[in-house]
Amino acid sequence: AFRSFHGRTMATLAATGQPEKHEPFQPIPEGFRHAAWNDLAAVEAALAPEVGAILLEPLQGEGGVNPADMTFLQGVRRLCDERGMLLIIDEVQTGLGRTGEWFGFQHAGIAPDVVTMAKGLGNGVPIGAVWATADVAAAFGPGDHGSTFAGQPLAAAGAREVLRIMEEM
């Protein structure tokens, strides 16, 4: 969506709907499309047959603290189901209780195919994680999804403690 923010790696920067963020890093990967926020018709109009997924935040943080309408999120989920596309929800800023639920998408009563999370998971300790449905996860082979920093014990211990405390609340 326009005004979205998904990160600073080349692919996540390309997914970010803020052209001014792209300028210093040209050329960026092609193929990402952006549509007006909270406008299901605009999202549908931006789709081409080769589009395999929709990525969005349940609440745009850097884009101006713009919450998604629940009917918009429900409509995007329905659109993904109708077209056989994945719904990827970026909960890096909003996940882990920051919207009053564990995840922002829960307010709309939807289930994404992939969820990204980070900031709230570590509560200041750098960590990121991805959840995916069993069907999506089956596409990954051993070692396909990881990094040279993966499995860092301090971050894992921090995340475990955050989750323990949150479950007690």
Tokens encoding 165:
């405390």
Tell me whether residue 34 is in a domain.
yes
Residues 99-114 have pLDDT tens digits of: 999 999 999 999 999 9
Assess contact for 53 and 87: CB atoms under 8 A. Answer: yes
Q: What is the pLDDT of residue 154?
A: 92
Query: What is the distance between the alpha carbons of residues 36 and 41, in angstroms, rounded to a whole number?
Result: 9
Tell me whether residue 38 is in a domain.
yes
Tell me whether residue 4 is in a domain.
no
Over range 81-101, report the average pLDDT: 94
Over range 8-31, report the average pLDDT: 88
Q: What is the pLDDT of residue 151?
A: 77
Q: What is the pLDDT of residue 69?
A: 95
Annotated catalytic residue, options 103, 105, 113, 119: 119
113 is catalytic: no
What is the β-pairing status of strands 129-132 and 114-117? Answer: antiparallel
According to DSSP, residue 140 is labeled: P
Query: What is the distance between the alpha carbons of residues 12 and 137, in angstroms, rounded to a whole number?
Result: 20
119 is catalytic: yes
- In this structure, which amino acid lies at residue 59? L
Domain of residue 106, residue span: 10-168
Q: Is 148 a residue whose pLDDT tops 90?
A: no
Tell me whether residue 129 is in a domain.
yes
Over range 51-62, report the average pLDDT: 93
Q: What is the pLDDT of residue 9?
A: 85
Annotated catalytic residue, options 5, 72, 103, 105: 5
Annotated catalytic residue, options 72, 90, 103, 105: 90
Tell me whether residue 123 is in a domain.
yes
Tell me whether residue 3 is in a domain.
no
Number of domains in the chain: 1
3-state secondary structure at position 146: coil
Query: What is the distance between the alpha carbons of residues 166 and 168, in angstroms, rounded to a whole number?
Result: 5
- Cα of first residue to Cα of last residue in the chain, in angstroms, is 33
21 is catalytic: no
Strands, E assignment, the chain: 53-56, 59-60, 66-67, 86-91, 114-117, 129-132
Tell me whether residue 98 is in a domain.
yes
Q: Is 68 a residue whose pLDDT tops 80?
A: yes
Assess contact for 127 and 116: CB atoms under 8 A. Answer: no
Tell me whether residue 60 is in a domain.
yes
CATH number at residue 30: 3.40.640.10
Assess contact for 97 and 119: CB atoms under 8 A. Answer: no
